[in-house]
Amino acid sequence: MTAPLDVRNLTLEQLAKTIDHSLLRPELTDEEVRAGIELARRYGVAAVCVKPCHVRMAAELLAGTDVKVCTVIGFPHGSQTTAVKVYEAQEAVANGATELDMVINIGKLRSGDDEYVLHDIRAVVEAVRGQAIVKVILENAYLTDEQKIRGCRLAEAAGAAFVKTSTGFAPSGCTVEDIRLMRATVSPHVQIKAAHGIRTLEQALAVLEAGATRIGATATAHILEAFKTRQGGAGLAGG
């Protein structure tokens, strides 16, 4: 279980360790991904989240650091079969990933097929047990509150370490209200990752205060530099 963050007394290093720096846009070149990984390393974030084809590169560039390699499974719509998701997860771990952000089967959840959703998540969790943690992306933009609650409970029952709001590819993303709902739904040992639309320090602090412990962000440098400015410029070597 991760203790709740004290947002009022947060240090720069603690804030950096809430961020998964996201490098998932489809048009990113290898050079742009490499630069993003180096940025993540420089700021000492929690993890860098890359596409599956870049996991090996990220693992090599982050060797010897405490920045974790994260990738996505069933991305971005969650509609791959369970067997494909399991293979993706196992290959990602073999290539060096230790955190997996898996998209729930959104249509099955909306259809009320809880048994399918539970099995889908559990199969991935079991396939990488002891090697990687699984964060389950609900894609809240497409869900009612009742569906968000069911998705959270199914993810917890399947053994997921986190529930996550969004992929970043739906019409809308994270809200403070969703973070509060998710935090109230899952047990304390299940963490919350907020993603999609968190571009400012104020937005980052708001979701952390609401109960998130990770943030998926592309605006990592902007958020952390804003915090450094607020704190008087001391801290990480990122800028």
Q: Spot the catalytic one: 85, 135, 148, 193.
A: 193
* Beta strand ranges found along 51-170 (DSSP E): 68-73, 99-103, 133-137, 162-164
Q: How far apart are CA 59 and CA 214, in angstroms?
A: 20
Catalytic, out of 20, 85, 101, 228: 101
Residue 193: active-site member: yes
Out of 68, 108, 135, 164, the active site residue is: 164
DSSP, res 134:
E
Residues facing 234 on adjacent strands: none
Using CB atoms within 10 Å of the CB of residue 118, give its burial: 0 to 12 exposed, 13 to 18 middle, 19+ buried: middle
Distance CA 205, CA 198 (A): 10
Tokens of 111: 């259809």
The answer to whether 66 is a known catalytic residue is no
* Residues carrying an active site annotation: 101, 164, 193
